[in-house]
Chains A and B, each alone.
Chain A
Amino acid sequence: MSLVSLAHVCSHLQNASKARLGLTSIPSTNLHLTLAHALQKQGFLSSVTRAGPTPPAPEMIADPSSSPEAEVTQANIASRRLWLGLKYWNNEPVLRKMWMVSKPTKRIWLNHHDLGVIVRGREAG
């Protein structure tokens, strides 16, 4: 499984934040979806919507089930993209920097114990 796409997502979101975009899109994969949900849960993204090559309408972002275009079929799945709503507060982007910890130059693996140590703030590195 390649993590190159995640590095692309990091760069893209940083660029989009710098350009003060409201909506931006990334390829629709399960990995990207998990990442987007995690970012939204932590409050860095305002919305995560699956739509086509063009940005979704505000009604579709607010209530995805209402719109008929939300349905993913064999016909349209290849063109689906995840549209992420970016946040800005006090003239500053909320999602400012985003980078890969495990890189091709140095891979990092963690079990749940080590993750717990980091989450509890015991060790930063």
Chain B
Amino acid sequence: RARLAAEAEEITEGPAETNEVEFLKFAKDPRNLFNAKNEAALLNQASEEAQELPKMADPGLRYAKEGEDTDPHMIRLLQTTGLDKDGMRRLRIKNLVLHRVVNQTRMGKISSIYFLTIAGNQNGLLGIGEGKASEVEDARRQAMMAAIRNMQPVPRYEGRTIFGEVEGKVGAVELKLSTRPPGFGVRCQHLIFEMARAAGISDLAARVTRSRNKMNTVKATFQALMSQRLPEDIARARGKKLVDVRNVYYGGNV
């Protein structure tokens, strides 16, 4: 019966409906209505369903490659400083000050950890950075990155000591750094010792006269080291010729 019904359907497509069928067949073939270079693309259009979009990774997500850093702050630091992981590992980084600070709000006491770190390449560069966060790891990392970012060249005489005597004052801390002859060593308090070691200063004397607040001592030492006046600049300002007598006359023996 079904076979008969199908045959009947076929038979009912008489000459009157043949045109309709032929038109539908004509319309279904995209080659009659569209022109395209790519046959495959043309035939794809034939179906009413939307095309399959090409599969690609979600542009919002960024996946780390093998062995690469994921931390955006670290990447940015390496970019801005021009260092690579090796260079950063060779820096001398030391946390000098670490304490809990507390902010009293109406919700209660909000405590944070504060780090003061110095970074130096032991050859004339020194930087200090502060980091404050609720977690110890975050604060330490913040301070380390700030220290590396803030590295500045420290003027050194013969690469071992500072030029003359310099003073630094931050808050109630007043200190004085003095140059010393070769072989003297860094005979200073532990904070200034670490800073001198990171900067590559091997002969130094220091006297902290007033307060000895750790944070301000570090800042005052940094200020003092940066405030050195170079003899060449002084000579140029005064219009005088400058000769390093120790080098030229005594051949470095005095």
Contact = CB atoms under 8 A, between A and B. Distances in A.
A94 B237 CA distance: 6
A44 B237 CA distance: 8
A89 B233 CA distance: 9
Contacts of A44: 238
A94 B238 contact: yes
B25 interface: no
Interface in B211-254: 233, 236-240
A90 B233 contact: yes
Grouping DSSP codes into helix (H, G, I), strand (E, B) and loop, the B interface class, with mixed when no group exceeds half, is helix
Contacts of B239: 43
B238 A90 contact: no
Interface residues on A, range: under 10
A43 B233 contact: no
A42 interface: yes
Contacts of B238: 42-44, 87, 94
Contacts of B237: 43, 87, 89-90, 92, 94
Interface string A38-59: 0000111000000000000000
Contacts of A90: 233, 237
A44 B238 CA distance: 6
A68 B240 CA distance: 33
Interface string A80-117: 00000001011010100000000000000000000000
Nearest to A121: B245
Nearest to B238: A43
Contacts of A92: 237
Interface of A: 42-44, 87, 89-90, 92, 94
6 contacts: A42-B238, A43-B237, A44-B238, A87-B237, A90-B233, A94-B237
By Cβ-Cβ distance, the 4 closest A-B pairs, closest first, are A43-B238, A89-B237, A43-B239, A94-B237
